Amino acid sequence: MNEDAIRTEVRAWLEANWDSSLSLVEWRSRLVDSGWGMPEWPRAWYGRDFSSAQARVVQQELAKVGAVGVARTGIRLLAAATLLEHGSDAHKTKFLRPILTGADTWCQLFSEPGSGSDLAGATTRADFKDERWIVNGQKLWTTSAHHADWGLLLARTDWDAPKHEGLSFFVIDMHQPGVTVQPLKQMNGHASFNQVFFSDAVVDPEHLVGKLGNGWAVAMTTLAHERRGADGMRSGAADVGTAASRTGRVHDEERKEIETVMAPYTWYPQRAGRVDLAVPRAKETGRIDDPTVQQELAKLLILSSSAEWTARRARATQQLGKPQGPEGSLGKLAASHVARAAARVHTLIACAEALLSGVDGAEHGVIAEILLSVPAVSIAGGTDEIQRNIIAERVLQMPKEPRFDTGPFRDIPRNTQ
């Protein structure tokens, strides 16, 4: 199907169906069922087997009339991609549609207090008793768990198998007595994540995803989509801006949806260091006349500009379909450097004002929030240490770390809590 044919068909369909006075779920139900919501998906599952180039054309047409797309917030699309690849037909039938319409909310239950960088070291256990899986343990860093309907759960089902081979992947119903969700407060005062406790929580046997013991491979699919999504999230942010002015019930509901999901993350721009504030603040405070401030500001601008240009180089290469160079793996580590440099500069500009926060703080507390949030940037989503390992091993082809976690999981040293 060529570009023009797609455009014609989408336009015709939109003319007949797009209606901003519908409820969000109503509209998305139409969209999903039509196959225009996820055209790159298979025909059998709400899609049209389109290439990503073809899908982009559909996207453009939707954007032109301001039509709302499928639900993409939270980890919905990670869940969908995982189920699409590893789920049974029953899973797909049950879960995919309410994911895309936004009716159901999902959360990811991988990290644990004892396994952060080392996800495969999970010790949350699922034991098969009386024809059901009984889950016990604790998960951490779970976003949106407090309003999730379903969770993607990585749990250990075999303690005698090697570490990566004793894990299984489940879909767990979050609305049950055995699941307790608690907010996890961070040092900057926000509580963007949850801890989830399982105490004899129950999973139906048919909610095992993939084969028993194959959970690590399934989780890797989720994580691969998460990494790929990091770029998408950034461009998504821009969409929100343009949608802000649109009227109609569907838009109102979408804005609320985004707002709810984004609420715990208002500090994320601060975590990245808010380089955008540096020069304006230096000018406003007059600190830009201080030669030391100039030097540090310039260092920051060099770092952030060159990091941005490096990301653009990576994207250009990708868009040209050329083999990715090393520049594609450096973004996360570069972001840590940028954020730390930004925190330094903001402190230098603020001088004594760096003592204050909240209403007394510079920029109504935003500067203080930067200073208290930047430490997370080099930890969340893979520490700098893990990033450097990955760059060294995958990009620079240096030897892998020696393994100390082979053999039966039962015998591998692990955290005791």
Partner 1 sequence: MRFHFTDEQTQFRDTLRRFLQTVSPTTAVRRAMVTESGYDAAVWKRMAHELGLNGLVIPEQYGGAGFGLVELCIAMEEMGRSLLCAPFLGSSVLATYMIRLAATDDQKQRMLPALAAGESIAALAFAERNGGFDASSISTLAARVGDRYVLTGEKFYVLDGMSADALLVVARIGVSDGLSLFLVRPDAKGLTRRALEVIDPTRKLAGITFDRVDAELIGDADTAAPALERTLDLGNIALANEMVGGAARLLEDTLAYTKMRVQFGRAIASFQAVKHRCAEMLLSVELAKSAAYFAAEAVDEGRADVDYLSSLAKACASETYLQTAIDAIQLHGGIGFTFDQDTHLWFKRAKSSEVLFGDATWHRRRMMQRLPAKEVA
Q: Which of residues 308-327 bind partner 1 (CB under 8 A)?
A: 308-310, 312-313, 315-317, 320, 322, 326-327
Residues 108-147 that bind partner 1 (CB under 8 A): 111, 113-118, 121, 140-141
DSSP, res 47: -
332 vs 319: CA distance, rounded Å: 20
274 vs 400: CA distance, rounded Å: 35
Which is closer to partner 1, CB of 252 or CB of 290? 290
Residues 291, 321, 323, 413: which binds a second copy (CB under 8 A)? 291
387 vs 382: CA distance, rounded Å: 7
Which is closer to partner 1, CB of 250 or CB of 354? 354
3 state DSSP class of 29: helix
Structure tokens at 383: 């520490």
| Residue 269 is a binding residue for partner 1 (CB under 8 A) | no
3 state DSSP class of 383: coil
Which of 176, 177, 214, 180 lies closest to 197, judged by CA?
A: 180
With CB under 8 A, what is the number of residues at the site for a second copy? 6
396 vs 388: CA distance, rounded Å: 10
For every residue of 90-101, DSSP letters joined together read HHHHHHHHHHHH
State the burial class of residue 413 (Cβ atoms within 10 Å of its Cβ: 0-12, 13-18, 19+). Answer: exposed
| Residue 387 is a binding residue for partner 1 (CB under 8 A) | yes
Q: Smallest distance from the beta carbon of 347 to a second copy, in angstroms?
A: 15
| Residue 412 is a binding residue for partner 1 (CB under 8 A) | yes
Which is closer to a second copy, CB of 245 or CB of 397? 397
Q: Smallest distance from the beta carbon of 306 to partner 1, in angstroms?
A: 4
Residues 306, 345, 363, 366: which binds partner 1 (CB under 8 A)? 306
Q: Smallest distance from the beta carbon of 295 to a second copy, in angstroms?
A: 6
Q: φ and ψ at 404, to 5 degrees?
A: -120, 15
C-beta pairs of 92-97 under 8 Å, 24+ apart in sequence: 92/45, 95/150, 95/171, 96/45, 96/46, 97/29, 97/32, 97/46
Beta-strand pair 193-203/179-184: antiparallel
| Residue 299 is a binding residue for partner 1 (CB under 8 A) | yes
For every residue of 208-271, DSSP letters joined together read EESSTT-HHHHHHHHHHHHHHHHHHHHHHHHHHHHHTT--SHHHHHHHHHHHHHHGGGTTHHHH
Q: Smallest distance from the beta carbon of 378 to partner 1, in angstroms?
A: 6
Segment interacting with a second copy, rule: CB under 8 A, options 129-137, 291-299, 311-319, 380-388: 291-299
| Residue 294 is a binding residue for partner 1 (CB under 8 A) | yes
Residues 21, 51, 295, 306: which binds a second copy (CB under 8 A)? 295
Residues 43, 185, 228, 234: which binds partner 1 (CB under 8 A)? 185
Residues 332-361 that bind a second copy (CB under 8 A): none
Residues 348-367 that bind partner 1 (CB under 8 A): 348, 350-361, 365
| Residue 290 is a binding residue for a second copy (CB under 8 A) | yes
120 vs 162: CA distance, rounded Å: 10
24 vs 67: CA distance, rounded Å: 11
| Residue 161 is a binding residue for partner 1 (CB under 8 A) | no
Q: Smallest distance from the beta carbon of 223 to partner 1, in angstroms?
A: 16
Q: Smallest distance from the beta carbon of 292 to a second copy, in angstroms?
A: 6
If one counts every other C-beta atom within 10 angstroms of the C-beta of residue 39, the result is: 24
Residues 177, 291, 321, 323: which binds partner 1 (CB under 8 A)? 291
Residues 397-416 that bind a second copy (CB under 8 A): 402, 404
Which is closer to partner 1, CB of 212 or CB of 390? 390
Segment interacting with a second copy, rule: CB under 8 A, options 126-134, 151-159, 284-292, 333-341: 284-292
Which residues lie near a second copy (CB under 8 A)? 290-292, 295, 402, 404
